[in-house]
Amino acid sequence: MDEILKVSNLKTVFYDNSREVHAVNDVSFSIREGETFGLIGESGCGKSATCRSIIGLLKENGKITEGEILYKGKNLVKMSRKELEKIRGHEIGMIFQEPMTTLNPVVKIETQITECLPKTMSRADKKKRAEELLKMVGIADAGQRLSAYSYELSGGMRQRVMIAIALAAGPRLLLADEPTTALDVTIQDQILKLLMDLKQELKMSMILVTHDLGVASQTCDRIAVMYAGKIVEMSDVHALFLNPCHPYTRGLLESIPTISKKGSRLIPIEGMPPNLKKLPEGCAFAPRCRFCRSICLQQEPQLQEVETGHFSRCHFRGEPEGEK
């Protein structure tokens, strides 16, 4: 399979009251055509910042300071705003965590969809396509809904509209940043199923950010576990769940009884993630790690390949000689 996206040594910093927040800190991964790549990890570990860096939609105080993001071989980091705008929405679509803040409340749904369609299309064709898109995401009375405003729709419906907008220009890569968190549990399943069906039907690649390990285990081909702005473990989904190597991943998995069950959300491990403005010298997880040794507090571990295609960022490859 060919790679559609290759992220290398990505560093993204937010400037907060003249202090640097190292939100994405030397992240590398690649995504193959048709693959679903999961990003998991506690709140604040840099999942959204990674997605937003890829699509060039960082908040004003955020900046990519190092690294490369190759989309079909072209470096998005070096692109002009205009070039990037052509790719954003057209080649790469994104669904955000909170649909209410992304949809414009004073613009009709129809306009919000048609704005994402090629400028060369006629008005009538755009309207037809907008209606098709709403049907595709399972909105029954699509024709009528076109003239609605987002506040008139339910949460699930809004997220369907968000998906329609993200898919309007036929992207090849979809970034779905916790696409179901803002929704009721019953609706979450429907939206996720819709997303996975559409991904299959349209043969897209996808990054799925999720807090739900059950969802990740059922939908992703490969998974990266992030901690404090870094990938601490990455592998295909089976190896990750069968043989988690990093103590952080182990902690996450141990805290839930049946991993294959949807709704298996991350339960916090004791302690707090480090302050991203002032990272510790050694392993960022060391202060919370039950296997921590002196080397862990002094030296930062590198991501090592523990078995083919399975990487872990731990001095002990996740197999220290026992708990401290």
Of 16-24, 28-36, 122-130, 306-314, the window that binds ligand ATP (rule: CB under 6 A) is: 16-24
- For ligand ATP, the closer CB: 62 or 282: 62
Tell me how far apart the alpha carbons of residues 265 and 283 are, in angstroms, rounded to a whole number: 25
* Residue 44 in contact with ligand ATP, rule: CB under 6 A: yes
State the nearest-atom distance from the C-beta of 46 to ligand ATP, in Å.
4
**Which CA distances in Å does 161 have to 59, 106, 112, 130, 180?**
23, 15, 9, 10, 13
Smallest distance, ligand ATP to C-beta of residue 61, A: 5
* Residues in 258-277 at the binding interface with ligand ATP, rule: CB under 6 A: 276
* Using rule CB under 6 A, residue 62 touches ligand ATP: yes
| Residue bearing tokens 């988690």 | 244
**42 or 91, CB closer to Mg ion?**
42
Question: Smallest gap, in angstroms, from Cβ of residue 45 to ligand ATP?
Answer: 4
Of 39 and 113, the one with the shorter C-beta distance to Mg ion is 39
To the nearest whole angstrom, how small is the minimum distance from the Cβ of residue 110 to ligand ATP?
30
For position 48 contacting Mg ion by CB under 5 A, the verdict is yes
Span of 48-56, 71-79, 244-252, 279-287 interacting with Mg ion by CB under 5 A: 48-56
Please name the residues in contact with 86: beta carbons below 8 A apart, sequence gap of 6 or more: none
Which one of Mg ion, ligand ATP, none is in contact with 95 (Cβ closer than 5 to 8 A by kind)?
Answer: none
16 binds ligand ATP (CB under 6 A): yes
Task: List the single partner that 232 binds among Mg ion, ligand ATP, none, CB under 5 to 8 Å by kind.
Answer: none
Rule CB under 6 A: choose which of 43, 144, 147, 302 binds ligand ATP.
43
The answer to whether 264 contacts Mg ion (rule: CB under 5 A) is no
- Residue 223 pairs in a beta bridge with 38, 235
Name which of 24 and 198 has its Cβ closer to ligand ATP. Answer: 24
Q: Return the CA Rg of the chain.
A: 20
Q: Choose one: 46-54, 77-85, 147-155, 299-307; the region binding ligand ATP (CB under 6 A).
A: 46-54
Q: How many residues bind ligand ATP (CB under 6 A)?
A: 15
Residue 308 token pair = 């083919």
Does 224 bind ligand ATP (CB under 6 A)? Our answer is no
The torsion defined by the Cα of 124, 127, 128 and 131, in degrees rounded to 10, comes to -170
Is residue 280 near ligand ATP by the rule CB under 6 A?
A: no
Contact between 184 and ligand ATP per CB under 6 A: no
Residues found near Mg ion in the complex (CB under 5 A): 48
Please give the residue ranges that form the binding site for ligand ATP (CB under 6 A): 14, 16, 21, 23, 43-49, 59, 61-62, 276
